[in-house]
Structure 1
Amino acid sequence: MKKLIISFLAFSVGLLMLASCTKNDPKVVSNGGTPGTLSASATTVVLVKANSADTTTKVITFTATASQYNFKASVSNALQIDSVGDNWKHPATIAFNVGSLTQGLSTSALNTALLQVVPGGVTSNVNVRVQYALSPEVASYSNAVSLTVTPYTLASYIYLVGALNGWSSSAPDSLVSTTSNGVYTGTFTFPAGAGNNQFLILPAKNFNNKYATNDPTTLVPSATVGYNVPNNFNAPGAGTYTITLNLNTLTIGFK
């Protein structure tokens, strides 16, 4: 009988615990929130590569108002930038600084974001909005601000002149550094004949300055690079070569 009473008591306690767990406890449910609004300090921005090293000056500043939820919420705010017509499928995202609803962007920061959605060197239209995110699955969005932007391409060029193009600086062949990291490459065809493998590399389309070599002109190929030094470079001979000029190590190579 004692065991029966104990079992009954245990069963009763279990029922009470189950009942307490199945009560309709109050839950906090998001109503989706009311997004804030976004404004920008400019609507047209032309970016200049020469200003890319200046990370202090802001070329544009975005200002948002806070989103409103029906409960106290921790919200992550981020700018989204996308090309017109992409419908926010592949936006570039820039997080706001913690605790701030104002985000200024330098030349390089804005250019980096824009190159994710539009081409460099071309004037394009983009939309910018704020994503207010409670979680990766729950977010609301501000109005979209339209901008006309011209980002610069990261690529930079230098110019090869030689017997292959009549030593003309007006229409030189180019070597390109796709990320402006100081390493330039280009493919060129040198004609047969004495001296036709000689060339110089110009930083601009004129002969004011040049990359050349102190090595003797009989050296094939020249391996060291100097600025405004006297001797021409020499390709290994007639034929097509990919030339790599490394201005970080001051070397030149042929393949």
Structure 2
Amino acid sequence: MPGKKIMLPDWATWLLFSSMIIVAIAGVGTWFWSRWKVKKIQAQQSNEEEKQRKLEILQKRGDDLGTLPYDLKDFFGSRVQDWDLESWINTIFLNDYKNVLIVNKNTEYELAVLMLKTKANIFEIQNNININLWNKAVLNFPQYFNRKCKIKTEAELRCISVNLVLANNSLIESFDLFNTYFNMLDKNGMLIIRLDNKKDKSFKSLLKNLKQSLIPFELTTVNSKFIYIVKKNN
């Protein structure tokens, strides 16, 4: 008869309600399981990629991996962390970078090591290097200097394109470093900033700009914290 309601017995109502709960729980469980599975696969993939990177570094660097000239480090009075410097060397090897620019002061030791350990052209800004100290190092430790460094003025640098820029934000804020040097990079080049200054007020603005501009970047920690910014190939 039209308009007549069908009344279910209590047991049927509870059965229907229980089924709905079971379906909901199963759905949530499946979602969590899927998320867990994806993360597990990503972790496995990341581990495999890390193993591959380490193998590639070993193949390219061999016994040289992890060996640094500590007498030269003492001479320059450098405070750079060993594994931070090793990570720079590995980045040059893994990406086959040919032209590298160091942009901060008090980086004579880093300059010398990158020249010693890699075949890349290493550029230094004229105003950032202590020439007298550098020349003394060359005289006292000739075994570490088998080629001349490429010292350029700021004006000369405008005519050069590089694959890699190495910097830290101790004296120049990170956003200023990005604005000054990112456009000097070749396609697929990289700007690496060591984040020494924890009070860098521009860092949040830099991250916001990178996200809005869809510029690839990665925050990572070796001994120190770094941001890697890639100039993608459009």
Which TM-score bucket, shorter chain as reference? under 0.3
- Larger helix proportion, structure 1 or 2? 2
Higher alpha-carbon Rg? 1
- What's the TM-score, normalizing by structure 1? 0.20
- Larger strand proportion, structure 1 or 2? 1
